[in-house]
Structure 1
Amino acid sequence: MYESLLWPVLVMLLYATFIQVPLLHLREALRDYRFLLAIVVGNFLVLPLLVAALLPMLPADPALRLGMALVLLVPCTDWFITFTQLGGGNTPRAIAVTPINLLLQLVLLPLYLWLLMGDGLTGVFDVATLIPAVLIVAIPLALALPCERWFESSHARGRIRERLAVLPVPLLALVVLLIAAAQAAHVYEAAGTLLQSVIPVCILYLLLAALAARFIASLMKLPVDQGRTLAFSFGTRNSFVVLPFALTLPDGWRIAAVVIVVQSLVELLGMIFYLWWIPRRLFREPS
């Protein structure tokens, strides 16, 4: 029963997320080549290497490692913007690069999984079982494109989109509750592993991702506000997009969905720390 409710809620969550992504403004993301290069190199080269280094720290359970790989390989497209604004980053640039992050992650994720998991994924992803997950991502994305044009056609309609921006938070909470209810047995069985291995790896990722942002920002000589934006992009991950794929996995692999939810909760708490650490310590304004 819980899983049957989960699918429509996920569709609504992804739609509410995608309509906040400026998909029609890709050209704006290409104007600042230096910042764009920093975002792309960091999210799609440096961080996948970091994920490859972190996965061996988990128990040799391919389902656990798959869940961690799925969620850590995809940069966030929604609350990344919110936290960038709260943390004194460059919000216009965060908004501009979001479509690039979304499109590249959808294209590159299969390649990354193949490189990281190799033959361990043989027979796990069946084309027939993947179709529902693909549709759950593709339908909201396809609906978001014409809706974005409609929202931008007038100021009044734009305000409707602003009101819809609050929906991802309660919908995410509902998704977490539904997954916890549907996967209660898996959560109970893996509680020790989640506490001893999964959560520490998630915390370590947050720390190293921010330090990677500091290194790349220094290397590229980015201004402070863009460095902060880089850090929030590297620290936040896109769990909503990969959840449908984790939920279609065979029974022995269902713990992957639990790992994704746990990472999201750790990340949310980690962002509270980021809001203090990033602007006050890691990317301070020059005195």
Structure 2
Amino acid sequence: MVNTPNLVAWMERHQISLYLMAILAGGVVGFLAPGSATVLEHSINPVLGLLLYATFLGIPFASIGKAARDFRFLSTVLVLNFLIVPLVVWGLTRFIAGDQALLVGVLLVLLTPCIDYVIVFSGLAGGAGDRLLAAAPVLMLAQMLLLPLYLLLFVGPDLVAAIDPAPFVEALIVLIITPLAAAALTQALARRTGAGAAVMSLMQALMVPLMMTTLAVVVGSQIVGVGQELGSLLSVVPLYAAFLVVMVPLGLIASKPAKLDVAATRAVVFSGATRNSLVVLPLALALPGQLDLVALVVVTQTLVELIGMVLYARFLPLIVKEHRQQPA
């Protein structure tokens, strides 16, 4: 008989390897059964919603108020994501400015900071997950308001007029507000009933399998398209890799004036580097026909970023500890 606590502990210790295996499995299924892409694509939002629900359950909501009052952390994250990152993205995208589909895809994903699995990966590196959770609603609202402005500045008014905001609003409601409210309700029930505590225990045990399922579904649903457009998509891989590299020193520099502690600094770096690819994918899929390639550009960023997150989780604690000390 399987010892569940030991199995959960084993998955948590080996979660990075399991995530890479899930990506590989999703790619294999996508290639061998290309007809499954439609079913997998429709599965993205439900699976991602469950993942976010489990993620939100893992952080006590009692800590959110304190984290939200941490003006230094919140202001640092906002400055990094909405002032510094757009400048970096503008510079990087000059290399593909002549291809509108590639340009739109890179802009769409790199201008939107992650508000979901960044908490997971930051936690692997000892980052302040409660502060990232507190910042998530602000980051989501800010990117909804600012993304059209950035696209207007970087691409032009014709593209902005062609974008339907409905998928983005739907993603906010389905993928953020609903799981967040459900997690808050579950925690409230857990303080009063055994049923709520049982649900929390179950979702915590399912955290790694849910992340694996999400990654496999996303990769499996898009891998055939990625293969068909590989020549075009390869041109954005160096841009995504360069973004991950440059955001480490920029995140450290942005954190310095606020004198953030080690955990908060790691969280800031992850926030600046990790993008909202899984949430903006429905928006990319809703773009008009001449921009079909945009969704594949977004998925390509996901693949590059996941490799980058493995490296971040391994090496960022060493880099941050070397440059910053815990305040007295």
TM range (shorter): 0.7 to 0.9
**Inter-partner Cα distance in structure 1 for 2:126 and 2:286:** 38
**TM-score in terms of structure 1 length:** 0.85
Corresponding residue number in structure 2 for 1:238: 276
Report if aligned partners of 2:41, 2:217 keep a CA contact under 8 Å in 1. no
**Inter-partner Cα distance in structure 2 for 1:59 and 1:192:** 17
Corresponding residue number in structure 2 for 1:111: 149
**Inter-partner Cα distance in structure 2 for 1:142 and 1:86:** 24
Aligned partner of 2:42 among 8, 12, 22? 8
Corresponding residue number in structure 1 for 2:178: 143
Corresponding residue number in structure 1 for 2:194: none
Q: Secondary structure at the match of 1:273?
A: helix
| Aligned: 1:268 with 2:311 | no
**TM-score in terms of structure 2 length:** 0.76
**Inter-partner Cα distance in structure 1 for 2:85 and 2:204:** 31
**Inter-partner Cα distance in structure 2 for 1:136 and 1:249:** 15
Report if aligned partners of 2:47, 2:213 keep a CA contact under 8 Å in 1. no
**Inter-partner Cα distance in structure 2 for 1:145 and 1:177:** 27
> Structure 2: which amino acid aligns with 1:234?
G
> Structure 2: which amino acid aligns with 1:175?
V
**Inter-partner Cα distance in structure 1 for 2:319 and 2:167:** 44
**Inter-partner Cα distance in structure 2 for 1:258 and 1:198:** 11
Change beyond 3 A, Cα 1:78–1:135? closer
Deviates more, 1:88-97 or 1:21-30: 21-30
Q: CA deviation at 1:137?
A: 4.8
Q: Secondary structure at the match of 1:29?
A: helix
Report if aligned partners of 1:13, 1:172 keep a CA contact under 8 Å in 2. no
Residue-by-residue CA offset, 1:160-185 (whole Å, 9 max, x unaligned):
4324533133123112211223x36x
Report if aligned partners of 1:62, 1:120 keep a CA contact under 8 Å in 2. no
Q: Quick one: percent identity of the two aligned structures? A: 34
| Aligned: 1:91 with 2:163 | no
**Inter-partner Cα distance in structure 2 for 1:218 and 1:12:** 39
Change beyond 3 A, Cα 1:61–1:51? same
Aligned partner of 1:173 among 216, 220, 244? 216
**Inter-partner Cα distance in structure 2 for 1:140 and 1:122:** 23
Q: CA deviation at 1:104?
A: 2.4
| Aligned: 1:191 with 2:230 | yes
Q: Which runs of no fewer than 5 residues in structure 2 stay unpaired?
A: 1-34, 191-196
Residue-by-residue CA offset, 1:73-106 (whole Å, 9 max, x unaligned):
1111222112222212223323332332233223
Change beyond 3 A, Cα 1:135–1:78? closer
| Aligned: 1:72 with 2:141 | no
Q: CA deviation at 1:121?
A: 0.6
| Aligned: 1:101 with 2:151 | no
Residue-by-residue CA offset, 1:112-149 (whole Å, 9 max, x unaligned):
22222223515532x4xx54564355334453244123
- Cα RMSD after superposing both structures: 2.7
**Inter-partner Cα distance in structure 2 for 1:132 and 1:2:** 23
